[in-house]
Chain A
Amino acid sequence: MSENKQYDAAPDFTAVDSSGRQITLSEYKGKKNVLLIFNRGFQ
């Protein structure tokens, strides 16, 4: 396995989601994986 491989740290961010909740990426650390999807546009 590649246990010694270095991975880039995911840039942290805090933002307000569509329901007004404050979301901070680093708060998932130690708890969950996060799949980020950057979309070109939803409209």
Chain B
Amino acid sequence: MAQLRRDIRKFTDRETEVIAVGPENAPQFKTWWDEHEMPFIGIPDPDHIIADRYGQQSKLIKMGRLPASVLVDKYGRIRYSRFGDSMADIPETEEMLAIIDALNKGTAGQG
């Protein structure tokens, strides 16, 4: 998260919104988010409604398959996803930016 926070402009410069989803309830989530001054959207998802919709069953969360990263393109399609066992499994920014650059190039001139 610290890395994302530091690199957020690299994403916004590439027309990419970052949205983080966490399992805390709304007050806990807001406290953490505000304390750390996170510069992107954060959504509390205590009932795992969003996470479940993305194929993350609660039992998987308990098994520790989070975090997960999902990249959605401008057409609303999932173009990349990755599930990991630890924060270290969040893809490095540069790796993700390269994917976004390829996406933006590939979709240029469409639609």
Are A39 and B77 touching (Cβ within 8 A)? no
- Which one of B26, B61, B96 contacts A35 once the chains associate, using CB atoms below 8 Å? B96
In the bound complex, CA of A17 to CA of B77 (Å) = 22
Chain B residues in 8 Å Cβ range of A7: 73, 77-79
Render B2-19 as a binary contact track against A, CB cut-off 8 A, 1 for contact.
001000000100111111
> B72, A38: Cβ atoms under 8 Å?
no
* Contact of A32 with B16 at beta-carbon distance under 8 Å, contacts A7-B77, A17-B43, A39-B66 already known: yes
Contacts A10-B70, A40-B66 given; indicate if A28 touches B17 (C-beta within 8 A).
yes
A42 to chain B, nearest CB (A): 4
Check if B11 sits within 8 Å of A35, measured CB to CB: yes
B64: chain A residues at CB < 8 Å are: 40
Q: How large is the interface on B (under 10, 10 to 19, 20 to 34, 35 or more residues)?
A: 35 or more
Given A8-B77, A23-B41, A25-B72, the answer on whether A34 and B54 have CB atoms closer than 8 Å is no
A33 to chain B, nearest CB (A): 4
Q: Which of A8, A18, A26, A39 contacts B78 (CB 8 A)?
A: A8
Contact with A along B49-82 (1 / 0, CB 8 A): 1110110100001001011111111111111000
The residues of B with any CB-CB pair to A shorter than 8 Å are 1, 4, 11, 14-24, 26, 28-30, 32-34, 41-45, 49-51, 53-54, 56, 61, 64, 66-79, 90, 96, 100, 103-104, 106, 111
